[in-house]
Amino acid sequence: MQLWVGLGNPEPGMLRNRHNIGFMAVDAIARAHGFTPWRQRFKGVVAEGTVGSERILALKPLTYMNDSGESVQPAAAFYKLPPASIAVFHDELDLVAGRVRVKRGGGAAGHNGLRSIDRMLGTQDYWRVRLGIGHPGQKERVLGHVLGDFSRADEDWLTALLGAVAEAAPLLVQGLPAGKPEEFMTRVALLTREPG
């Protein structure tokens, strides 16, 4: 079993925020792979399904981003999951919009959701699925960018990215235990490549 966590904020008015792309990604995976309906559990909502041959518990913490670990830790503890079986989908300022990178461990790089998970799990050794939202160019514009809604101009790449992540999810299932997420990243890149 693997725990796939999408990070975001639960306020209805924040659903389209760039900071909520983690929620959007696990929603897309759950839809594409016929997961159960979402239900409340672990200070969040969970849906279960099978991707490839692996049982996946999808979790969207409802604790607000800065306290995401308060939802992730009890879910991981209940299922006795090691960090290597946990993947956290989150927004990444330092990646070009629409790009995906997967890595295991590392610092929080200023991301409060990751910082909370690190603190509550007592480790940084889980997988991060970094979903590029692009950088606004100036440090003082970062907060407004992250908490701002995706624009109409973002719709094409965002739809393509979420669809690609859902389609390539079986490769992520295979790649995480082996420590080789490259096939997943390559497949997402191919699916989102501009034609021509």
Domain span holding position 67: 2-192
The arithmetic mean of pLDDT across residues 145-159, rounded, is 92
Read off the DSSP letter of residue 82. Answer: -
Which residues are paired to 51 by β-bridges? Answer: 54
CA angle 189, 193, 196 (to 5 degrees): 150
Look over the chain and give the mean of its residue pLDDT values, rounded to a whole number: 93
Burial-class residue 125 by CB neighbours within 10 Å (0-12, 13-18, 19+): middle
Catalytic member of 19, 90, 111, 145: 19
CATH number for position 134: 3.40.50.1470
Name the strands in the sheet holding 54-61, side by side, starting at the edge strand that comes first in the sequence: 39-41, 44-51, 54-61, 2-6, 86-92, 127-132, 100-104
Amino acid 102: pLDDT: 96
pLDDT at 195 over 80: no
pLDDT tens digit sequence for 170-180: 999 998 888 88
- Amino acid 137: pLDDT: 84
Beta pairing, strands 54-61 & 2-6: parallel
For residue range 31-56, what is the model confidence (pLDDT) as tens digits? 999 999 999 999 999 999 999 989 99
How many distinct structural domains can be found in the chain?
A: 1
**Residue 86 β-bridge partners:** 3
Q: Is 19 among the catalytic positions?
A: yes
Whole-structure pTM value: 0.95
Whether the pLDDT of residue 196 is over 80: the answer is no
Q: How confident is the model at residue 128 (pLDDT cuts 50, 70, 90)?
A: very high
